[in-house]
Amino acid sequence: MKIIHTIAELRAWRKTVGTVAFVPTMGSLHAGHMSLIHAAKASAEHTVVSIFVNRLQFGQGEDFDRYPRTLENDAALIAEQGGVDVIFAPDEKELYPNVIQQYQVTPPAIAEELCGAFRPGHFRGVATVVTKLFNIVEPDIACFGRKDYQQLFVIQSMVSDLNMNIQILPVDTGRADDGLALSSRNAFLTADQRIEAPRLYHHLSRMKAAIEAGERDYSKLAIQTVTDLRVRGWIDIDYVDTRNAETLKPAASTDKNLVILIAARIGTTRLIDNIEVHL
């Protein structure tokens, strides 16, 4: 396995190989990332994992500075699993030599809802860096986790709208035994917060069960969840929302494919999760 830091070296390597599956990450790898890597390995001759904490997708006051950076551990974990050809780990100067990225990819208005409403410019930053990475790695396939459902939606629609010749492979959310979605940011949780955090998934599961049982008043379900979380001390709840799983528009009572999305802060750590409902 090679660790490549420069675009020139990555491009030189890319010219010498056949099909490539690509897993973009911000590092601090966990079992959720490993299932993306597993899916990538199974779908092309070669696998590239990128590790880059992308300043452009973080807002003012967000956790860019404290975001965990653990390249050595990440490389060891990937090497242990085997089968990855390249870790692409550029530094900021390599990817953003002009400091300010003049040309950016602006997603449509749906990217300003849900997480986008609380992280203005976030998905522009994601779409821009993913486009740059796609242009550098030139993958045949790229894997994205369903945990970041809106991100997956933005990338899928970007690839379709801009005719990028890349197949996007969605990968199911990896969870801890108690249901908490695996996330690099879980590392910030205190022991007590870690015990409380799976409540997000428990609420999503409860809302899903209610919808499967015939409930169509999605706002009522959301209010119940918010009320219960507030009582338990979750004061910073960004949203609890039921959307059409294919369009991400607000769900209609006749929709058959839904996704319930949630984002909330526990202490200073912002967690997101979602659950799909197929009726």
Ligand X SMILES: Nc1ncnc2c1ncn2[C@@H]1O[C@H](COP(=O)(O)OP(=O)(O)OP(=O)(O)O)[C@@H](O)[C@H]1O
Catalytic residues: 33
Rule CB under 6 A: is residue 148 a binding residue for ligand X? Answer: yes
Residues in the chain: 279
227: amino acid identity, one letter: T
Q: Is 184 annotated to bind ligand? A: yes
The smaller minimum CB distance to ligand X, of residues 88 and 144, is found at 144
- Can you tell me the distance from the alpha carbon of 94 to that of 97, in angstroms, rounded to the nearest whole number? 6
Residue of 44, 75, 129, 189 interacting with ligand PAF (CB under 6 A): 129
Piece of the chain touching ligand PAF by CB under 6 A; list 2-10, 122-130, 185-193, 226-234: 122-130
Q: Which stretch binds ligand PAF (CB under 6 A): 19-27, 63-71, 84-92, 156-164?
A: 19-27
Runs of H (alpha helix) within 162-265: 191-196, 199-212, 218-231
- Binding to ligand BAL by residue 148, rule CB under 6 A? yes
Residue 273 binding ligand BAL, by CB under 6 A: no
Token readout for 121 is 């410019």
Across the beta sheet with 141-145, the strand order is: 2-4, 86-88, 46-51, 20-25, 141-145, 167-171
Residue 74 lies near ligand BAL (rule: CB under 6 A): no
Strand locations in the chain, DSSP E?
2-4, 20-25, 46-51, 86-88, 141-145, 167-171, 236-244, 257-266, 269-278
Q: What is the pairing mode between strands 167-171 and 141-145?
A: parallel
- From ligand PAF, ligand BAL, ligand X, none, interface partner of 189 (C-beta below 5 to 8 A by class): none
Binding site for ligand PAF (CB under 6 A): 24-26, 54, 57, 126, 129-130, 148, 151
Binding site for ligand X (CB under 6 A): 25-26, 32-33, 35-36, 144-145, 147-148, 171, 173-174, 181-185
Residue list, annotated binding site: 26-33, 57, 145-148, 151, 174, 182-185
